[in-house]
Structure 1
Amino acid sequence: MILAFGGFALLIVSGIPIVLGLGIAALITIITFTDVPLAILAQRVYGGVNSFPLMAIPFFVAAGLIMEAGGIARRFVDLASALVGWITGSLFMVAITTGTGLAAISGSGSADTAAISSILIPEMKKRGYDVDMSASIIAAAGSMASIIPPSIIMVVIAITTNQSIGAMFLGGVGPGLLLTMALLLGAWAFAKRGGATYRDTEAFSRGRLWTAFVRAIPSLCVPVVIVGGIVGGVFTATEAACIAVFVTLIISCFIHRELGLGDLWPLIQRAISLSAAVLIIVSTASIFSWIIASLGIPQALDAWLRSVTDSAITFLLIVNILLLVVGMFMESISAILILLPVLMPIAVGYGIDPVQFGVLTALNLSVGLITPPYGICLYVASLVAGRSVEQVSRRVWLVLIPMLLALFLTAFVPAITLFLPQLVYG
């Protein structure tokens, strides 16, 4: 197993795509240490994506792209601006609040980051905001799509650990709102010390808020339909994703009228491309998961951890540090498929609720979306801002502080995660 992980790490450092690194490392391990016929590879690759719930991923991706192109993102920005645009550091507040709203539709951090960046970065530059700090905050706002339902990462975690997708979605609500508040307070504290630039705010207006709310009502209905339908048992996560595409299309084409039929084919092509990239990683990572299980790695790791500590708190500290480091170097879905089959049984053995541990995993990996060298949301925000990742990274630690505080509070106060799932499912 050391050969598999070591080979995978070496391949990634050499610059090879993750999907090839996973497949080659697994192939070498099977050839070297097992008598398993190579045909098993093809079976595992197919079995990794032969899942009805995984069909939610391409539809949620498509819904996010339609949201970005069809005016839904703009309505959320306008509503957030009317709601919090009067606070010091107004555009920071707007970015974070918008990220929370968009996360409840798309489930894709990179799509949300791109939408928020394209709308707010030009205005932030115009007002003289610190561009690197602005990009860091927008990246953090986009990363909330990993934790706030309907999160694609949550879908993968639920499928991988055989948990209820509805319970996972509800479990993400409390930590997601806590993360929003932490980011708002952190951004406000930075803006408060930043001088007159960040006090260029508009007076709060009930009339403006009401107008923005009325214009955003169709867009606000989307997360209510998606999450409400799943939690209420009206439809599955996959069916909800299909409905999300249908609803965002209706809103964008016939209510907002910002998306024409001629715009759909490029969006479909992009959705297919992004979904294929995710699903091929799922398929090759499933080989790794199978090797880990067949070699008894979870049992060996459990025995080692039990010899080190019997404390669930110490275990959570170790796992949080592990996931934060892994998130810096590995794509989230790959990390989930490789590590969670090992860690989840151990967490349950320590008495940790599987829904809480799944949500905690998603929260850790959402931090990884803004930490170099791999943080995809950081890359997107830097690209739109016209800055290098190295430049933006000098400010990202200011955003990481509130995110880590929210992470550790979630880890050690289970009620933040479990209150809603227990209320609904008992």
Structure 2
Amino acid sequence: MTIILGCFLLLLLLGVPVVFVLGASAVIALVTTTEVPLAIVSQRVFAGLNSFTLMAIPFFVFAGIIMDAGGISKRIVNFASALVGWITGSLLLVSCVAAAGLAAISGSGSADTAAISSIMQPQLKRRRYDVDFGAAVIACAGSLAQVIPPSLTMVIVAVVANLSIGALFLSGIVPGVLCMVAIMTTAYIHAKRGGAQYRESEPFTMERLLRTAYQALPAFGMPALILGGILGGVFTPTEAAAVSAFYGLVVGMFIYRDLKAAQLPQLILRAASLSASVMLIIGTASVFAWLIANANVPALLGDWVRNFSSNPLVFLIVVNLLFLVIGMFLETIAAILIVVPVLFPIAIEYGIEPIHFALVIVLNCAIGTVTPPYGISLFVASSVAGRPVLQVAKKLTTPFLAMIVILLLTTFVPDLSLALPRMAGLIQ
């Protein structure tokens, strides 16, 4: 066990891509400490990917790409602008509302962050907003795609922990909306203190709101189709992902008409490339997780935690701290596949509701995407803004703390995440 962890940390510090870190450290541990044949590596990779539910990933990825290319992102931003564009600091608030709207469609935090950044950053610069703070707000708002359903992160957590994807989807709605409101509050306070460039002269009009809402209506039909289909038992999460991709094609090509048939081969290749990178991480991480399980790490960690405290709240605090640190160095999927199988049995022993515990993990993973040095949403927002990551990270404090407050609130008030699944009859 020492060898695999040592190799893992060494390769990670050397800057080796996470997918190779997981695979190489597992192979080195097999060769040096066991007599297990190397053929087990390919078998475990296949076993880790041999899941019908995981087929939802490429479909959701493709749906997110279609969303951007088909003009869906633009309509949602226009609606958000009509809704909150008359308030002080409107561009920051529009970014938050639009990110939440896109989160209900794409399921990918980095995709949402890229889409919102590319639309909003030119306007932030033109209006002389603080671009670094704007990028920090967009990064935090974009990360909500991991919390607001449909979420790729939730799909993976549900598969690993053998949970109902529909129940986990519903559990993220209230915390996701609370996170959006908290980030918007910090943006509004910043704007009130920021000077004349943050003041708005364009008044609110019901005509504009209704017009943009009507234009965005086909876009908002996608989350209704996904959640309604899953909760109504019409189709499985994987089938829902395929339907959402098809729906995005129909909307982009025949309703908005921004998507042309000639673009499809390139978009399909891009979706395949992104999906392959995710699947490769899942495959190599499954080998790593199998070695950890064989080394009896879950039992050892469980004994240590139980000796440390018998209070489930203390356990949840430890989990939050652990994931906040892990999120700084590990990609979300790898972190889930390595840590969740270890922690979930312990959470069950403490009597913690599995859906609540899963949602706490998902929230931590969302926060991990904006924490340097590895935060992918932070990198995307900084890159599109053309600003150094460290400069944007300096402005991250208030929106980051807002997300931490909602994380603690969700941790200590389980009903925030469990009320909707209970109302739907998916949990007791």
Q: Indicate the TM-score class for this superposition, using the shorter chain for normalisation.
A: over 0.9
In 1: Cα distance, 2:293 partner to 2:141 partner? 36
CA shift at 1:289, angstroms? Answer: 1.4
Please list, as runs of the form range in 1=range in 2, the aligned pairs for 1:317-396 lying within 5 A after superposition. Answer: 317-396=317-396
**Larger mean Cα displacement after TM superposition, 199-208 or 300-309:** 199-208
Q: What letter corresponds to residue 56 of structure 1 in structure 2?
A: A
Q: Deviations over 1:239-271 (max 9, x none)?
A: 011001100000000100001000111111110
Q: Deviations over 1:302-361 (max 9, x none)?
A: 111111111111111111011011001110000000000001111111111111111111
- Counterpart CA distance in 2 for 1:33 and 1:231 is 47
Scaled by the length of structure 1, the TM-score of the pair is 0.99
| Alignment RMSD | 0.9
**Which stretch shifts more, 141-150 or 288-297?**
288-297
Secondary structure, counterpart of 2:371 in structure 1: coil
1:420 aligns with 2:402: no
The aligned amino acid for 1:283 is G
Shift in Å at residue 35 of structure 1?
A: 2.1
User: CA shift at 1:221, angstroms?
Assistant: 0.4
Question: For 1:271 and 1:13, how far apart are their aligned partners in 2?
Answer: 30
Q: Give the counterpart letter for 1:33 in structure 2.
A: T
State the AA in 2 paired with 1:77.
Answer: V
SS at match of 2:395: helix
Q: In the alignment, is the contact (CA less than 8 A) between 1:97 and 1:180 conserved in 2? A: yes
For the residue of structure 1 that corresponds to 2:328, the secondary structure is helix
Cα distance between partner residues in 1 of 2:357 and 2:283: 23
Q: Give the C-alpha shift of residue 201 in structure 1.
A: 4.5
Q: Distance in 1 between matches of 2:70 and 2:210?
A: 22
Q: Deviations over 1:141-186 (max 9, x none)?
A: 1100111111000000000000011111011111111111111111
Tell me what 1:117 maps to.
117
Post-superposition CA distance 1:257-287 (Å, at most 9, x none): 0010001111111101100000000000001
- Structure 1 distance, partners of 2:354, 2:141, is 26
C-alpha separation between the residues in 2 aligned to 1:237 and 1:409? 28
1:418/1:201 CA distance change after superposition, 3 Å: farther
Cα separation, 2, equivalents of 1:292 and 1:423: 38
Report the alpha carbon displacement of residue 32 of structure 1 after superposing the two structures with TM. Answer: 2.2
Between Structure 1 and Structure 2, how many residues are aligned?
Answer: 426
Q: Could you list the runs of 5+ residues in structure 1 that have no partner in the other structure?
A: none
Tell me, yes or no, if the aligned pair for 1:149 and 1:169 is still in contact at 8 Å. Answer: yes
1:187 corresponding residue in structure 2: 187
Opposite residue 161 of structure 1, the aligned amino acid is A
Does 2:224 correspond to 1:263?
no
In 1, distance between residues paired with 2:46 and 2:55? Answer: 14
Give how far 1:388 is off.
Answer: 1.0
Contact 1:302 1:346 in 2 (8 A): yes
Unaligned runs of at least 5 residues, structure 2: none
Q: Deviations over 1:366-406 (max 9, x none)?
A: 01111111111111111111111111111011210101001
Determine if contact 1:88/1:201 at 8 Å carries over to the other structure.
Answer: no
Q: State whether structure 2 residue 72 is matched by structure 1 residue 72.
A: yes
Q: Which residue of 1 aligns with 2:197?
A: 197
Amino acid at match of 2:273: S
How far apart are the structure 2 equivalents of 1:386 and 1:193?
25
The answer for the alignment partner of 2:167 in structure 1 is 167
Which amino acid is the alignment partner of residue 357 of structure 2? Answer: F
What amino acid sits opposite 2:400 in the alignment?
A: L
Q: Deviations over 1:71-99 (max 9, x none)?
A: 00000000000111111110111000001
Q: Distance in 2 between matches of 1:201 and 1:20?
A: 53
Normalised by the size of structure 2, how large is the TM-score?
Answer: 0.98
Output the CA distance in 2 between the equivalents of 1:194 and 1:125.
Answer: 14
CA 237–300 in structure 1, closer or farther in 2 if over 3 Å, else same: same
> 3-state SS of the aligned residue for 1:383?
helix
Q: How does 1:22-171 map to 2 (within 5 A)?
A: 22-171=22-171
1:229 aligns to 2:236 (yes or no)? no
Secondary structure at 1:48 match in 2: helix
What SS does the corresponding residue of 1:328 show, helix, strand or coil? coil
Distance 1:31 1:64 in 2: 41
Alpha-carbon distance in 2 for matches of 1:6, 1:199: 54
Q: CA deviation at 1:200?
A: 2.5
Partner SS for 1:46: helix
